[in-house]
Amino acid sequence: MSRLVVISNRVAVPSKDASANQGGLAVALLSALREHGGIWFGWSGETTEHFTGEIHRTEGDGVTTATIDLEEQDIDEYYNGYANRTLWPLFHYRIDLTEFERDFAGGYKRVNERFADTVLPLVEPDDLVWVHDYHLIPLGQKLRDRGMRNRLGFFLHTPWPPSRLLVSLPSHAQLVESLFAYDVIGFHTEDWLDSFRRYVVDMMGGSLGPNDTVTANGRTVRAIVAPIGIDTAEFEATTLSDEARFTKERMYMSSTGRSLIVGVDRLDYSKGLRERFLGYERFLQNQPDRRGLVYLLQIAPPSREKVNTYQEIRADLDALSGRINGEFADMDWTPIRYVNQGYPRPQLAGIYRAARVALVTPLRDGMNLVAKEYVAAQDPADPGVLILSSFAGAAAQMKAAVLVNPYSAEELADAIVTALAMPREERVRRWQTLIDGVRREDVFWWCALFLDALEDARVREPA
């Protein structure tokens, strides 16, 4: 078995502590690294005055991590700039929020080169190299430019936007061209893959070949669908832990017989929080009899706080939740509990389990793992109902959820009514279909699917 080198913007720290705040992606990649042996490389999260390329290594629990510090300017231009002010909004169809600055593009190129220069000496000839996400799209090309012949894979965790939007990026042609340095590229859904293929065919004059291959300008890459999952077995077990049970009881006690509707999202405009609050407000307006019988717990830990659109959405949601509470609250009832903090995974599992309904309504999302976690946390005998945006990648696999258009307040309000009124038999039937998928296509399945494709690629001949 070949060694594995994982490269991503940030690196997860290996931990034996099951209650550690690790998402499914970290768990899966760490387990793949343990199995294959190898290294996880990325930015340390620290700044340095002058970039030196010095590598900080840690060894623990069978995994080696290697990280580098970046300069303040790198972080402004590459991370807060090109990654999160340019590519993130554009890839989530928010061209209105997309900022096009030459400095950002320059920083993005520079940091990708810094990554390439520093990781190159750590890679051995037979290693599989797996690059993650929009921060590092050109890295494969930078590595090839430096003579790397290894099997190189890339996975995009966000949507791939339609060509019509992508062409607004001044350097779209180079960005897409650079993807052809990889042997395998992966997307969460057929939709995102299809947008990519259309770009290649329509904009580059490329062609589609057998075995998921895409060819343009004389270069061929395999472009596959590999929908990410969660560590389902671990999450189901976490739900049964003492801490999760205790949290569930705490939720019941604090809700005095009211039905809990839950939302759990990073505070990000792509997650549709504003529209969700408006949908819930519409529900309260349309259903006066149900006021006081339900409440919405929205958990939204702040993210990317240096980026001003994130400061704006936070202020917007503060105002909106305040307005809705001001309008509808009673002396003994608050319609929205809006919380800006993260919770340890066992507590999150307990909250999911206590919730009769989950609102997972992003305006656009590569996949969305909260939808899968909610399903994995349910009581099989009396499961809650998942309301899921049709525009989340997860909707392609989770058709047994109540699917909604997250932009429509009316549809959201109606979906809440449907979910609250759904008979147990139907809830069990839908949940069974959902959990079967979440168990079958878990994060280990995803990882193996991608790595098998990458193993099959050939090490390149010397130039």
Q: Which residues contact 186 (CB under 8 A, 6 or more apart)?
A: 153, 154, 155, 156, 223, 224, 225, 226, 450, 453
Quick check: is 56 catalytic?
no
Q: Could you tell me the smallest distance in angstroms from the CB atom of residue 341 to ligand ADQ? A: 6
Q: Is 367 in the site for ligand ADQ (CB under 6 A)?
A: yes
The residue (of 177 and 234) whose beta carbon lies closer to ligand ADQ is 234
Four-CA torsion 48, 50, 52, 56, nearest 10 degrees:
-10
The residue (of 110 and 337) whose beta carbon lies closer to ligand ADQ is 337
In this chain, which of 83, 90, 216, 348 binds ligand ADQ, going by CB under 6 A? 348
Measure the CA–CA gap between 66 and 119, rounded to whole angstroms. 9
Which whole-number Å values give the CA distances from 385 to 272, 424, 426, 430, in the listed order? Answer: 19, 10, 10, 8
In this chain, which of 86, 158, 232, 321 binds ligand ADQ, going by CB under 6 A? 158
In this chain, which of 373, 411, 441, 442 binds ligand ADQ, going by CB under 6 A? 373
Q: Is 364 in the site for ligand ADQ (CB under 6 A)?
A: no
Q: Which residues contact 312 (CB under 8 A, 6 or more apart)?
A: none
Tokens of 90: 């554009």
Q: Which of residues 227-256 bind ligand ADQ (CB under 6 A)?
A: 228
The residue (of 5 and 28) whose beta carbon lies closer to ligand ADQ is 28
In this chain, which of 346, 366, 384, 406 binds ligand ADQ, going by CB under 6 A? 366
Q: Whole-angstrom distance between the N-terminal and C-terminal Cα of the chain?
A: 25
Q: What are phi and psi of 19, to 5 degrees?
A: -90, 0
Q: Which stretch binds ligand ADQ (CB under 6 A): 62-70, 261-269, 279-287, 308-316?
A: 261-269
In this chain, which of 10, 266, 274, 290 binds ligand ADQ, going by CB under 6 A? 266
Q: By rule CB under 6 A, what count of residues binds ligand ADQ?
A: 21
The residue (of 12 and 370) whose beta carbon lies closer to ligand ADQ is 370
In this chain, which of 93, 100, 333, 343 binds ligand ADQ, going by CB under 6 A? 343
The residue (of 279 and 346) whose beta carbon lies closer to ligand ADQ is 346
Active-site entry in 133, 231, 365, 442: 365
366 within 8 A of 157, measured Cβ to Cβ: yes
DSSP letter assigned to residue 234: H
**Other beta carbons within 10 Å of 73:** 16
Q: Which of residues 108-147 bind ligand ADQ (CB under 6 A)?
A: none
Measure the CA–CA gap between 90 and 101, rounded to whole angstroms. 13
Tokens of 127: 């290693």
Q: Is 301 in the site for ligand ADQ (CB under 6 A)?
A: yes
Buried-exposed string 99-108: b where 16+ CB fall within 10 A, e elsewhere:
eeeeebbebb
The residue (of 82 and 328) whose beta carbon lies closer to ligand ADQ is 82
In this chain, which of 26, 131, 299, 387 binds ligand ADQ, going by CB under 6 A? 299
Tokens of 166: 């992508």
In this chain, which of 129, 262, 369, 453 binds ligand ADQ, going by CB under 6 A? 369
134 within 8 A of 158, measured Cβ to Cβ: yes
Quick check: is 132 catalytic?
no
CA atoms within 13 A on the CB side of 35: 12
Residue 244's SS3 state is helix
Q: Is 365 in the site for ligand ADQ (CB under 6 A)?
A: yes
Q: Is 441 in the site for ligand ADQ (CB under 6 A)?
A: no
Q: Which of residues 5-24 bind ligand ADQ (CB under 6 A)?
A: 23-24
Rg (CA), the chain: 23
Active-site entry in 157, 183, 231, 268: 157
Measure the CA–CA gap between 192 and 47, rounded to whole angstroms. 34
Q: Is 148 in the site for ligand ADQ (CB under 6 A)?
A: no
Q: Could you tell me the smallest distance in angstroms from the CB atom of residue 461 to ligand ADQ? A: 33
Residues linked to residue 388 through DSSP beta bridges, in sequence order: 360, 403
Q: Could you tell me the smallest distance in angstroms from the CB atom of residue 173 to ligand ADQ? A: 25
Q: Which residues bind ligand ADQ (CB under 6 A)?
A: 23-25, 157-158, 228, 264-266, 299, 301, 342-343, 348, 365-370, 373
Catalytic annotation, residues: 157, 365
